[in-house]
Chains A and B, each alone.
Chain A
Amino acid sequence: DAGVIQSPRHEVTEMGQEVTLRCKPISGHNSLFWYRQTMMRGLELLIYFNNNVPIDDSGMPEDRFSAKMPNASFSTLKIQPSEPRDSAVYFCASIAGSTDTQYFGPGTRLTVL
């Protein structure tokens, strides 16, 4: 089992540019979560999907952030336009059915200059 896959692992971009982060959950998992981790705020839930449908996006910071899950094996988190305060590590996690354990990907370290 390859686990949760995220790409890219590192992204450096300039302020104002569009950034797209990608996630492939574990096969068979039906819930997917996007988190952001910073030193100041810790680990924050941005949005989560159940069966490809966004259930709760209350953690999305503002309209510059959007997330999609077009199918059960792929999700994207997009930031447009990016700002330096978006610099963080973004994690994707998935769970299967009624279990409670979340499986995390390795994260994408985003730096916005």
Chain B
Amino acid sequence: SQQGEEDPQALSIQEGENATMNCSYKTSINNLQWYRQNSGRGLVHLILIRSNEREKHSGRLRVTLDTSKKSSSLLITASRAADTASYFCATDGSNYKLTFGKGTLLTVNP
């Protein structure tokens, strides 16, 4: 079964706006990761947040984690057309197994 569930399924914004995507999961985790997938390409790791962290930043990315609500959010600030992609959250299991959600398709219009 899918551990991570992203919402919204699709998001369309204008260049320069901020984009927020959410992820909910069911069981306890050691860490949560966000990946990006451009059309027709493999997934690329963006950021990892551990269960004892509440917020993490990387460039224009900001990730929050609320383990009490079993949820995470990914914020992309000042979006660019090049940010157009699908974004997936992934939760860890044992032995480095990751379980991915179905993703949020982000479209940034120039």
Q: Decide whether A and B assemble into one complex.
A: yes
Q: How far is the CB of B24 from chain A (nearest CB, A)?
A: 15
Range class of the B interface residue count:
20 to 34
Residues in chain B near residue A100, CB distance under 8 A: 31, 33, 48, 92, 96
CB-defined contacts of B2 to chain A, threshold 8 Å: 42
Binds A, one of B12-20, B36-44, B75-83: B36-44
The answer to whether B33 touches A43 (Cβ under 8 A) is: no
Chain B contacts for A42, CB-based, 8 A = 2, 100-103
The verdict on B88 contacting chain A, using a C-beta distance below 8 Å, is: yes
A-B contact pairs, 5 of them (CB 8 A): A42-B2, A42-B101, A43-B43, A43-B100, A105-B42
Once the chains bind, are B100 and A106 in contact (CB under 8 Å)? no
- Determine how close the nearest CB of chain A comes to the CB of B71; give it in whole angstroms: 19
Q: How far is the CB of A99 from chain B (nearest CB, A)?
A: 9
Q: Is A79 an interface residue (CB 8 A)?
A: no
Q: Which A positions have Cβ atoms within 8 angstroms of B?
A: 4, 31, 33, 42-43, 45, 48, 50, 55-56, 91, 93, 95, 100-107
Query: Nearest chain B CB to A39's CB is how many angstroms away?
Result: 9
User: Top 9 closest A-B pairs, CB basis?
Assistant: A104-B42, A42-B102, A43-B100, A104-B43, A101-B45, A106-B42, A107-B42, A105-B42, A91-B42
CB distance from A70 to the nearest CB of B (A): 21
**Chain B residues near A48 (CB, 8 Å)?**
95-97
Contact in complex: B45, A4 (CB < 8 Å): no
B85 located at the interface, meaning its Cβ lies under 8 Å from any Cβ of chain A in the complex = no
